[in-house]
Chain A
Amino acid sequence: MDYEGPLIKNGKRVDGRAFDDLRQISIKAHVINEADGSAYIKWGNNKILVGVYGPKECLPKHIADPHKAVVRARYNMAPFAGKEGHGRSGPSRRSIEISKVVSDTFQNVILAEQFPRTMIEIFIDVLQSDGGTRCAAVTAASVALADAGIPMKDMVSAVAGGIIEDTLVLDLNYIEDSQGNADLAMAFTHRNKDVLLLQMEGDLPIDKFKELLKMGMDSTEYLYKIQKEALEEGYKNKPTESVVLDL
Chain B
Amino acid sequence: MTEILDLLKKDVIDNMIKSGKREDGRGLDEYRPITLLKGVLNAGPDGSAMARLGKTQVLASVKFTIGAPYPDRPKQGVFITSAEFLPVASPEFESGPPRENAIELARVVDKGIRASEIIDIDSFFVEEGKVLTMFLDIYVLDHDGNLIDAAALASMGAITDTRLPKIEDGEIVWGEYDKPLDYKDVVTTSTFSKVDGKILLDADKNEETDASARMTVSFVKGNICALQKGLEGSFRAEEIEYIINKALEKSKDLKSIVLKA
Contact = CB atoms under 8 A, between A and B. Distances in A.
A130 B43 contact: yes
Task: Choose among B88, B89, B141 the residue with the greatest number of A CB atoms under 10 Å from its CB.
Answer: B88
B88 A78 contact: no
Contacts of B97: 89-90
Interface string A122-158: 0101011110000000000000000000000000000
Contact of B63 (A33, A38, A86, A127): A86
Contacts of B143: 34
B101 interface: no
Given A1-B174, A1-B175, A80-B61, A247 B87 contact: no
B contact residues, range = 35 or more
Interface in B36-50: 37, 40-45, 48, 50
A69 B123 CA distance: 55
Given A78-B137, A83-B44, A247 B59 contact: yes
Contacts of B57: 32, 245
A79 interface: yes
A245 B143 CA distance: 13
Contacts of B55: 33-34, 242
B71 interface: no
Contacts of A34: 55, 89-91, 142-144
B61 A83 contact: no
A38 to B, nearest CB: 7
Contacts of B59: 127, 247
Interface string A40-77: 00000101011101001000000000000000001010
B79 interface: no
30 contacts: A1-B175, A33-B55, A33-B142, A34-B90, A35-B89, A35-B142, A38-B88, A45-B43, A49-B141, A56-B91, A76-B86, A76-B95, A80-B48, A80-B135, A80-B137, A83-B44, A83-B175, A85-B65, A86-B133, A86-B135, A89-B97, A123-B86, A123-B87, A123-B88, A125-B139, A127-B44, A127-B59, A128-B41, A129-B44, A245-B57
A226 interface: no
B88 A49 contact: yes
Contact of A245 (B41, B64, B90, B141): B141
A125 B88 contact: yes
A106 B142 CA distance: 24
A81 interface: yes
A84 interface: yes
A242 B55 CA distance: 9
Nearest to A121: B87
3 tightest Cβ-Cβ pairs between the two chains A and B: A51-B88, A247-B40, A80-B61
Contacts of A74: 87, 95
Contacts of B174: 1, 83-85
Contacts of B48: 80
B231 interface: no
A79 B137 contact: yes
A116 interface: no
Contacts of A86: 63-65, 133, 135
B149 interface: no
B83 to A, nearest CB: 10
Given A32-B88, A129-B44, A245-B141, 8 more contacts: A32-B89, A32-B142, A53-B87, A80-B137, A85-B65, A89-B84, A90-B97, A247-B50
